[in-house]
Structure 1
Amino acid sequence: MTRTEIWLIRHGETDWNAEQRLQGWRDIPLNDVGKAQALSVQRYLEQQRIDFDAVLSSDLQRAIQTAQIAFEPYGYQVEQLSMLRERNYGIYEGQPWQQLIPLPDRQAPTINLRDPQTEIPEGESLPVFYQRIIRAFNQIAQDRPQQKLAVVAHGGVIDMVWRHIKNIDLTSQRPYKIMNASVNHFRITTQQWEEVAWAQTDHIEMANEGL
């Protein structure tokens, strides 16, 4: 049975993250907090002593910068893949995300981006995004059997992978927050996707204490 081991890492914080604005395909760089978080991933990697075969990244600069900082001591060439981008929010990019999703303490928004039936002008619906991400990782596993890979991507990407592993539908509430610079380890085999260690954040908390 072939398998591919993947450590899926969310990029560090950007100003738009801090402002709670939808980024999507907008190419926003890391801020100083995000760079410190990327360094915390570097320290995590030093402790884990994982011998990666390759480092892959979304082609958006917040992911690329995180990968470059985290893996700088190891000399990896970061491979950029557009298929690992965040969901394309089209005309809603740049808007405050809390106005575009339902929250328990207020009325439903005019448009609900978490509704799989919602079409996004100039962007991706939730099912289209889900299908893109699952295809991307299946293709990566097919192309790189028996490899250990670091993949730096986005919160939405991690959410889609988590739902696929757990067989959870797109409408169910996720019970945890996806932290910037969190690390998520899973494997893809010829039979299934399997979680190994999810939502690892201890390294981020230690970095925040030093800020």
Structure 2
Amino acid sequence: MAHIDYYFSTLSPFTYLAGLELEEIAARHEATITYKPLDIMALFMRTGGTAPKDRHPNRQVYRAQDLERTAKRLGVDFKLKPAHWPTNGAPASYAIIAAQRAGGGDLGKLTHSILRACWAEDRNIADDDVVRGCLEAAGFDASLADSGLLTGAETYAANLEEAVTHGAFGSPFYIATDTDQRFWGRDRLEDLDLHLAGKL
């Protein structure tokens, strides 16, 4: 059975725009997914990237246009300048880690609802009540937002180290672990789909 390591940031607009396509691809190929939220700014620093605010103005303008075009093409709600961004993405990441460990709910739905809260609903994903609501909506116990904080922090840090070791450098980033094929960005999900089908 194929397996995908999914490295992502709960603050990434490109990860939000990827929606639930990864989960659909995995279901189609009976592949499993390990969700690995991480600190994207630390990943940028470790792998030669630059924070969006520090990029050349040409790159900043293109990024904004590309995000808005993509959201329009996909027909999804999107706010280029949400009310609570940047914010602390760690609490939501810890909740995803705790939910993955606990099981019993829909991890893809949880992850997407957190991203949607930030990028479409102007909610602060550093707020415990927002995280609890996302957990409940995805079928998890809301108390996971308050439990396992130490384990969550340790796993969050470990995910960053694994990302660097295994070749990730952005979000979303997908690695088919049995073949070490790496796919960066929502626009490479089609390639991941073809790869899992044995066509690429």
What is the TM-score with the length of structure 1 in the denominator?
0.31
Higher helix content, 1 or 2? 2
What is the TM-score with the length of structure 2 in the denominator?
0.32
